[in-house]
Structure 1
Amino acid sequence: MTEQQFNKLPDQNGYFGKYGGRFVPDTLMEPLIQLEKNYYSLKGDENFQRDLLHFQKTFIGRPTPLYFAENLSRKVGGAKIYFKREDLAHTGAHKINNAIGQILLAKYMGKKRIVAETGAGQHGVATAAASSVLVLDCLVYMGEKDMERQQPNVERMRLMGAEVQAVESGSRTLKDAVSEAMRDWVTNIDDTYYLLGSSLGPHPYPLIVRDFQKVIGIEARKQIMEVETQMPAEVIACLGGGSNAIGIFYGFMEDDVKLIGIEAGGSDISPGQHAARFSGGRIGIFQGMKTFVLQDQEGQIELTSSISAGLDYAGVGPEHANLLDKGRANYLYVNNVDAMEALKILCKEEGIIPALESAHAIAYVLKKAKEYDRSQSLIVNLSGRGDKDVSIIQDWKFKK
């Protein structure tokens, strides 16, 4: 497969190579087919694209800047380190790109109500904000465990008029919130739109989410060529479900640039202690898609663990599985300790508090930059800001 072919996937059946598809009960098959038809119709609609561009510019605040981290680059040595500042987008993360796009889609489809899931809370906040500005009712499902560690985001959602429903089943984290949101959608299919927050799930969601996030990579590619004479050596992003990573990867897919995704290594790579699907998982069917999944020998989904709620998920988007399979991207992991140390270094050197999710990618870059010289550059997708993680950071410092 040539690099030019990657951006043409998925195929007509929703597959990225051998990953993806639509593994759902019969009750969901028709709604997904209708969503696919509506999306392809509106994708080329002039009015829809005009409205999307309007909200990207005036509500989200695009384009977000590409920032040269001069102090950090000097401290680390080696390559120049750039950050794509998605933390400066409205609501504080890349999630708003997809939320605005899908809720605008729901509005054009005549839906009155939005249901969504959230882990770290940023997708929930973005969904609440977009639902508010586009005047739709909003219900967000969130694992009870995630609500406890992301309380500021819970309050932000409620302030913007969203109802937040605690999910008490299973691991009480993102995978359980996804299941509850999908059950709600099936029950209220006529007036409800299910807004999936990452590039995963049954087709056409991985495609839709990527298309609304690819603006990150398109902007970043243009911006780096305005300040450097050559492409970056590597483009790096943290990897939960995979939306911020696929968003920035998209812009560089056809270039001679290494694409690196960083998963959550947790405390160690043993069952229940991490969320590194490509290092500790295997191929399986999970929440409507074929992909890499953390599972035991009997195929039961394993518990996951990470200091970062947004990376704490047992599956990964199928497009990433295909990129690994075809050798176009590489996926590594960073543990809790290194992620927290990277966060502290960035705060001190650049005055930027990154989300704990993004800190995993930063930890990788702090080590990798030394392998290059000053003529080369690395781009990290700073996918979110760390306001939401201050209490976790404080607890971590106290424990230490």
Structure 2
Amino acid sequence: MMTTKENILSPIGKEGVGPNEFGYYGTFGGAFIPEMLYPNVDQLKTRYLEIMSEASFQKEFRDLLKDYVGRPTPLFFAERLSKQFNTQIFLKREDLCHTGAHKINNTVGQILLAQRLGKKRIIAETGAGQHGVATATVCALKGMECVVYMGEVDIERQAPNVARMKMLGATVVPAKSGSRTLKDATNEAIRAWINEPVDTHYIIGSVVGPHPYPDMVARFQSVISEEMRWQLKEKTGSELPTHVIACVGGGSNAAGAFYHYINEPSVKLVAVEAAGFGVNSGMSAATTQLGRAGILHGSKSLVMQTEDGQVVEPHSISAGLDYPGIGPMHAHLYESGRGTFLNVTDEDALQAAFDLAKLEGIIPALESAHAFSALKQMTLNEKDKVVICLSGRGDKDLATYMKAMRV
């Protein structure tokens, strides 16, 4: 499909990329939910594509992405980084979006959807805080009540984003169970949705959860790869890179970066997970390496779990990758072999962040730093065209970077 500047803001992605009618990507997906949530989820499943196709929705979504979010985001040729790896590296600058990450693409879409469904209240989960900030931002924009669930550990390590959410008018509720991170925040958000299903819309931040969330979020984020196609054509004469690299926790930035290349077999899709202290250290979040099929947060996917099905606590230095599962779309990309899945340790991600800062003057989010570190594991040549999704900026991680520098 030829993409142009005129259609980059369309939330409706290419046919053949999404799940089947039951929400499955191959053997992964579906909707495994409590009975009380069936009306809400069924309403979403029945209406989301119809609403997203409406001319009024399209116009409002496009206008907000352009004038509020600041799209299109630049595709930057990283000259010094390219020289280091003897290849051509382009950075898709999602860090330059309003609120500092790609998360705003999805929350803008979902708040417009919630309004058209007659919802009055928004809840969300967050790990790194970027999705929480993006949700609080659109709720302030539209004058809707906002409650964000966040693990106690993440509240401490992502304090600037907690302050932003509160300044935007959101109520931040700590998740105090389990590892007190993203998994537990998601658990609390789902419990809250069960208690107030009628007037409340749950804005899930990643390509996880029951159908239609993985498809819906991927469609909203697909603007990333739509822009990449025409931007790369302007810079190189071809819409197609040789590689697209993105970090993966649940996987929304990767879904957006991969979306318009999934049906282009010449393009290598490289997903980078968090290895934490090492894949086999017992302190990792490399789901494709450690997980097996299971149900987590409403869908069937790959899940880190014990022999008797108990979820294994993940670990990553980056709060946004600290998740024991992966979106069903990514699980299918892994199982089918369409995607290449690498993993990067905390230490290597930190080093990659410092390297990028000194080479290109860009301080990335720790999540994004995992994608940059993966370059060291790849064999590239001078003719390759590599696009890395720089999913967020590093302001929120300065405390971690300062600790590493012993400042």
Residue identity in the other structure for 1:90: H
In structure 2, the residue matched to 1:61 is 70
Cα distance between partner residues in 2 of 1:93 and 1:359: 13
Counterpart of 1:148 (choices 156, 159, 163) is: 156
Name the counterpart of 2:385: 377
1:200–1:317: 8 Å Cα contact kept in structure 2?
A: yes
The letter for the 2-side match of 1:23 is F
| Deviation by residue 1:35-60 (Cα, 9 ceiling, x = unmatched) | 11221220211111111001100110
In the alignment, which residue of structure 1 is the partner of 2:173? Answer: 165
**Is 1:341 matched up with 2:315?**
no
Aligned sequence identity (%): 49
CA contact (8 A) 2:17 2:262 kept: no
| Structure 1 equivalent of residue 248 of structure 2 | 239
Counterpart residue number, 1:94: 102
Following the alignment from structure 1 to structure 2, what is the Cα–Cα distance between the partners of residues 153 and 320?
27
Conservation of the 8 A alpha-carbon contact between 1:232 and 1:377: yes
| Corresponding position of 1:302 | 312
Q: Give the counterpart letter for 1:77 in structure 2.
A: F
Which whole-Å CA distance do the structure 2 matches of 1:73 and 1:118 have between them? 33
Please state how far the C-alpha of 1:79 moved relative to its aligned partner: 1.1
Q: Answer yes or no: is 1:253 the counterpart of 2:265.
A: no
Q: Tell me if structure 1 keeps the 8 A contact 2:76–2:91.
A: yes
Q: How does 1:83-162 map to 2 (within 5 A)?
A: 83-162=91-170
TM-score (ref. length: structure 2): 0.94
Secondary structure (helix, strand or coil) at the match of 2:72 reads: coil
- Mapped to 1, the partners of 2:59 and 2:355 lie a distance apart of 41
Deviations 1:53-106 (A, max 9, x none): 0110011001001000011112x1321111000000000000000011001111
Aligned pair 1:262/2:272, yes or no? yes
Q: Deviations over 1:286-336 (max 9, x none)?
A: 111110000111110001111100000011000011111222111110001
Please say if 1:16 is aligned against 2:25: yes
Residues 166-315 of structure 1 correspond to what in structure 2 (within 5 A)?
Answer: 166-230=174-238, 231-255=240-264, 256-270=266-280, 272-315=282-325
Q: Distance in 1 between matches of 2:15 and 2:157?
A: 37
Residue 323 of structure 1 is matched in structure 2 by 333
2:14·2:260 contact (CA, 8 Å) conserved in 1? Answer: no
- Partners of 1:238 and 1:85 lie apart in 2 by 14
Residue 141 (structure 1) shift: 0.3
Cα shift readout 1:153-191 (whole Å, capped 9, x = no counterpart): 000001111110111011100011111111111111121
CA contact (8 A) 1:240 1:311 kept: yes
The one-letter code of the counterpart of 2:356 is L
Q: 2:401 aligns with which of 375, 380, 393?
A: 393
Deviation at 1:367, TM superposition (A): 4.5
8 Å contact from structure 2 (residues 17, 263) kept in 1:
no
Q: Distance in 1 between matches of 2:33 and 2:85?
A: 49
In structure 2, which of residues 365, 369, 375 is the aligned counterpart of residue 355 of structure 1? 365
1:31 aligns with 2:40: yes
* 1:129 counterpart letter in structure 2: T
Partner of 2:87: 79
Q: Deviations over 1:361-382 (max 9, x none)?
A: 00012453xx333222100000
Q: Is the 8 A contact 1:14 1:203 kept in 2?
A: yes
CA distance in 1, matches of 2:188, 2:112: 23
Deviations 1:226-275 (A, max 9, x none): 11134221100000101000101012112210000000000012364000
| Aligned equivalent of 2:49 | 40
Amino acid at match of 2:249: G
Tell me by how many angstroms 1:6 deviates: 7.6
Whether contact under 8 Å (1:291, 1:318) holds in the other structure is yes
Deviation at 1:7, TM superposition (A): 3.4
Tell me whether 279-288 or 355-364 shows the greater mean CA deviation: 279-288
The residue type paired with residue 301 of structure 1 is V
Q: Secondary structure at the match of 2:63?
A: helix
Please state whether the residue corresponding to 1:92 is helix, strand or coil. Answer: coil
Once residues 229 and 34 of structure 1 are traced to their aligned partners in structure 2, the CA distance between those partners, rounded to angstroms, is: 43
Aligned to 1:55, the other structure's residue is in SS state helix
Which SS does the other structure have where 2:388 is aligned? strand
Question: What TM-score results when the alignment is normalised by the length of structure 1?
Answer: 0.96
The whole-number CA distance in structure 2 between the counterparts of 1:395 and 1:22 is: 41
Amino acid aligned to 1:292: L
| Range 301-310 or range 320-329, more displaced | 320-329
C-alpha contact (below 8 Å) 1:7/1:250 kept by paired residues = no
Deviates more, 1:236-245 or 1:218-227: 218-227
* Amino acid paired to 1:347: A
Unaligned runs of 5+ residues in structure 2 are 1-12
Unaligned regions of 5+ residues in structure 1, if any? none
